[in-house]
Amino acid sequence: MVLEKAILATITTNANKVTAGASIFICDDKEEMEKVAANLEAILDGISHALSDELYIIVKH
């Protein structure tokens, strides 16, 4: 089976919102979260999507 989409990383400011799965990056505030997400987007060649204000995921399309 070929996976067309996959969550490559999860970035959050609220550690309670996520458990295991893709790599999780826990940040102190929204600003740091956005920086990390922007970097990861470029590194992983995926798009960062906002699920809520405190939860971003990087998805490979």
Partner 1 sequence: MNEYTYPILFGVTIGTFARMIMLKTDYRQYPTYLHGKIIHLALGFIAAGLGSVAVPAIMEKEFTAITFLTIAASQFREVRNMERNTLSEMDSYELVPRGNTYIEGIAVAFESRNYLVIFTSLLTTMAYLVWNIYLALVVTVICIYVLRKYMSGSTLGDIVSVEEAEVSFDGAGLYVDNIYIMNIGLPIRQKEIMKYGMGFVLTPKNFDVRSTIANLGQRQAILHDVSVSLGVIRDSGTPALVPLIKRDLDDGRIGVFVLPQDKDAKKAIKVIRSVPVLENAIRMPSESKAQNK
Task: Establish if 27 lies at the interface with partner 1 (CB under 8 A).
Answer: no
Site size for partner 1 (CB under 8 A): 14
**58 Cβ neighbours under 8 A, 6+ residues apart:** 7, 8, 9, 10, 11, 22, 37, 40, 41, 44, 46, 47, 48, 49
Cα dihedral sign, 26-48-46-41: negative
Task: Tell me: does residue 47 bind partner 1 (CB under 8 A).
Answer: yes
Whichever of 1 and 42 has its CB closer to partner 1, that residue is 42
5 binds partner 1 (CB under 8 A): no
User: Which residues of this chain interact with partner 1, rule CB under 8 A?
Assistant: 34, 37-38, 41-42, 45-50, 56-57, 61
